Structure 1
C-alpha cells in the first residue's frame, strides 16, 4: 500500500513562472548559463549559483548557505509564494514528440525504507551525503524523484477529466515545451487520489535514486527534531505507460591495444556482424547492438540469447560482459576515464562526431531497456549497471519547491 500526501508547496507567482523555472543546472553550457544569469534576474539559476556575481570559487558550506539566503530573498521579494494549505499538483509537459502527465506529491520515507517504493540503480555514497548536506543547509528541494506507478484506469480517467479545468499555470519554455499545472486543493479530491495509490502494491523509482537516498539519510539524521516534513520527499508520479525510456550509449577512447581486425575477429565469437557502411544504424530490437568504428557503422546481433536471470539478459550488462570488460579492459563502468556515455535522446550523429573527432575510437549503440525489465530487477533487489537508462520526463527547477 503506497502512501502519498499533499504538502504546502512554494511556487513562483503566476506572472513570473516562465521566467523563474529552468532546466537542470548541469544541462546549461557556460554561455547559456551566463546569458540567463546576466539577463534574467528571476531565474532560479540565481538561487542555485549564488556566487555568480562574485566570480570566485567558494566552499561547499558557503555555497549552500548562499543558496538558502538567495532563496529567502526570492520569497521576500514575492517571486515565490507558499500555499496556505497542503495540495497536490497535476503537471503536464508537452514537447514536440511526447506528452507527459503526472502528479506532484509527497511520498513516504517509510515506504522507501520498507521497499514499497522500489529501486533499480545503485548510488554513490559521496553524492548521497553531499545532497543530504545540501537539503539540511538550504531547507528546501525543488528536484522531485520521478516515480512510476502501474496502469490505473480510474486514475487515468480522473486525470483526463481534471485536465479540462482551468489550469494554475500555462506557459512555454525556451526549448518550446509547453507546461501546464493544475492545483488539486479540494479535500475530497485529495482523499480520492490518495485512495487510488493505497490500492497499488508498489511504486518504482524511475529517476532520482540519489535524491531519495539523501532524503532517507536526512530523515535518519534529523528525525528527532520534530520536523514532520522529513517524513516525506517530493515526487513526480507518472504512469509506467507514459514514461519514455532511452538507452545510454557508450563511447570508448581506444581498443585496448587491439587492431581493428583483431577486435572485429574477437567480436565474432558472440555476435553476428554486418557492416552497414555509412548508414546511421541503431538497434531495432533487444540483443542487437550498433557499433561505429573507423568510419563505418556495424550491426551486432547476439548469437546466444539464453540467460538465467534478467540481469544477465540486460543489454547493458551483455555489452559489459561480452565486450567492454573482456575485450576493451573496462572494469569500473562508473569511474573508468576511458569510457563516456551519451543519452539515447541524442542522435546517432553525436556518437559519429565524437569518434570522428579523434578523442574516442569506438562507439556502441544499445536498445533501450523496457519498464518490465526495470521492474523485474527492482523486484529481485538487483541493480542495473551504471548509466543503463535515460528516462523522461525531466522536471523544471524552481517550478515547485518542497520545504524541509
Structure 2
C-alpha cells in the first residue's frame, strides 16, 4: 500500500510567485536558460540550471553544484523563498487550453520506490542520474516534483478537487502562453489524515515523468545513509499525484532525415509488405494528431506517415499474443521500419532521427519535412494511461520517447527541503 507524507514546504513569497517558478531543468537548454535569466534574475533557473551562467565550465564540474547551493541560499536569505511553519499537503492546479488538471503534492517513500510499490516504465541514463543526484545533495532539496499516477477507486480525485474548490490559492503563476498554475495548502490535521488514509488503500503509484529525479533521490538517500547523515527528509522525495484518467498523454512523433537510399516509391512499396498503406486526401494540420481511418479499439496498430507532401495511414493487426510492449505502436514502428528498413537501431543516439512531442500542431512537423530537413515524419497515436500502467505492472521498459504527459509542471511552486 502507498504511503504519502505531508511536509513543511518552501515556496515563493507572495510577491515572488509571479517570477520565481520556472520550467523544469530538463526541458530547457543552458543557452535558453541564460536568455531567461538575462530577462529575470530572480528565476529558479539560477538554482536548477547554474551551468547557464557558467558557460565556460564543464556542466559536471564541482563549481556548478557549489553555485547551485549558493544561489539557493541567496534566494532563501533574500526572502524570495519562504518556509511554511507546519507540515502540509499541497494541491497543484493547472488550467490550460480551457482544461483544468488537479494533483496532490506530497512526499513519497524512497523505500517504496525501491521495492516497486512506486513502479517505473523507463530506463534512466547514468549521466543525467548523476547530475541530479549531485544537485539534490548540494542544495539539500527537491526543487521539482516527480509526476506520479494513481488508479483512483472513485473518490480521491473528487476529494482533492473539492478541497481546492473550497479554498483560495496562496500562490499562482501565469506562463507566457497563458497557462495558470495555482497552489493550495492543506494543513488541517483531519484533512491530512483523510488523504493519508485514502492513499493507504492504493496498491501502487506509477511514474509518468521524472524517472531521473526519483532515481537521483534514492541515490542521495543511499549516499547519506552510507555517510551517516541520513534524516527522515532524505528518506522521501517530493511528487505530485494525479489520477491516471485525469491527465493527457500525447505521442512522440518521429522525423527521419533519409530513407536509407530508397526513393519514396521504393519506401512505400517496402512498407506495403508490412502494413496496409492507405493514402489520406486531407489532414487538418492545426491539430496535433491525425484522426485514424481505422477502428481504434486496440486491435489494430495505427501509424501515420507524411512523405513528399502526401499523408498515409499505416495499419496492421495487433498480435493477440503480444505482450504489453509489443502491443505498442512505437514498438512496431521501431522494429519493422526504423530497424529493418532504415537501419536506425539506436533511436536514443542516432542523428538520423529526431523526436517531436505530440502536443505541437502537425503544421510544425510538415514544415520540417517540406523544408527538406527531414525526408519523412511518422505521427504516433497517444499511448493510453492504462497502457503505461500495464507496462509498469509487468516490470517492462517502454521504448524511448513513447509518452508526452500533460500537464507540464513548473519547478519552484513548492520545494521540499532535506533538513
Bin the TM-score by the shorter chain: over 0.9
Aligned counterpart in structure 1 of residue 388 of structure 2, from 365, 371, 374: 374
Q: How does 1:5-404 map to 2 (within 5 A)?
A: 5-25=5-25, 27-28=27-28, 33-50=33-50, 56-58=56-58, 60=60, 61-163=62-164, 164-223=166-225, 224-276=228-280, 279=283, 280=285, 282-284=290-292, 285=296, 287-303=301-317, 305-404=319-418
Which digits, 9 at most, give the CA deviation of each residue in 1:353-397, with x for residues without a partner? 111222211110011111111111111101100000010111112
Q: Distance in 1 between matches of 2:270 and 2:98?
A: 39
Distance 1:359 1:257, change over 3 A: same
Give secondary structure in 2 for the equivalent of 1:182.
Answer: strand
Instruction: Give the Cα separation in 2 of the matches to 1:316 and 1:58.
Output: 35
**Structure 1 residue 33, shift from structure 2 partner:** 4.2
Aligned residues: 404
1:35 and 1:132 map into 2 onto residues whose CA distance is 26
- Give how far 1:80 is off: 0.6
- Where 2:15 maps in the other structure, the secondary structure is coil
Q: CA deviation at 1:157?
A: 3.2
- Tell me the secondary structure at the aligned position of residue 205 of structure 1: strand
Mapped partners of 2:208, 2:4: distance in 1: 17
Report deviation, 1:277.
5.0
Aligned partners of 2:30 and 2:52 also within 8 Å: no
So what's the TM-score if we normalise by structure 1?
Answer: 0.94
Shift in CA distance, 308/173, structure 1 to aligned 2, threshold 3 Å: closer
TM-score for the superposition, normalised by structure 2: 0.91
- TM-superposed CA distance for 1:308, in Å, is 2.4
- Distance of 1:58 and 1:114 partners within structure 2: 35
Deviation at 1:160, TM superposition (A): 3.0
Q: Does structure 2 conserve the Cα–Cα contact (< 8 Å) formed by 1:108 and 1:233?
A: yes
CA contact (8 A) 2:303 2:313 kept: yes
Residues 282, 289 of structure 1: 8 Å contact kept? no
Residues 272 and 303 in structure 1, CA contact (< 8 A), matched pair in contact too: no
Query: How large is the RMSD of aligned CA atoms in angstroms?
Result: 2.0
**Counterparts in 2 of 1:158 and 1:12: CA distance versus 1, 3 Å:** same
For 1:56 and 1:119, how far apart are their aligned partners in 2? 36
For residues 14 and 162 of structure 2, what CA distance do their matches in structure 1 show? Answer: 23
Contact kept in structure 1, 2:221 and 2:230, CA below 8 Å: no
Q: Is the Cα contact below 8 Å between 2:33 and 2:52 reproduced in 1?
A: no
Name which of structure 1's ranges 72-81 and 164-173 shifts more when overlaid on structure 2: 164-173
Q: Please give the secondary structure, in 1, of the residue aligned with 2:105.
A: strand
Offset at residue 53 of structure 1 (A): 5.6
Residue equivalent to 2:2: 2
* Cα 1:35/1:122, change in 2 over 3 Å: closer
- Structure 2 unaligned segments of length 5 or more: list them: none
Greater mean deviation of Cα atoms: 216-225 or 43-52:
43-52
CA contact (8 A) 1:270 1:304 kept: no
SS at match of 1:47: helix
Secondary structure at the residue paired with 1:165?
coil
Q: Distance in 2 between matches of 1:403 and 1:322?
A: 47
How far apart, CA to CA, are the structure 2 residues paired with 1:59 and 1:340?
24
- Secondary structure of the 2:252 match is strand
**Distance change in 2, residues 1:31/1:338 (3 Å):** closer
Change (3 A) 1:299 1:165: same
In structure 2, what is the Cα distance between the partners aligned to 1:74 and 1:170? 18
SS at match of 2:249: strand
Contact 1:283 1:289 in 2 (8 A): no
Residues in 2 aligned to 1:316 and 1:83: alpha-carbon distance in whole angstroms: 45
CA–CA distance in structure 1, aligned partners of residues 382 and 185 of structure 2: 34
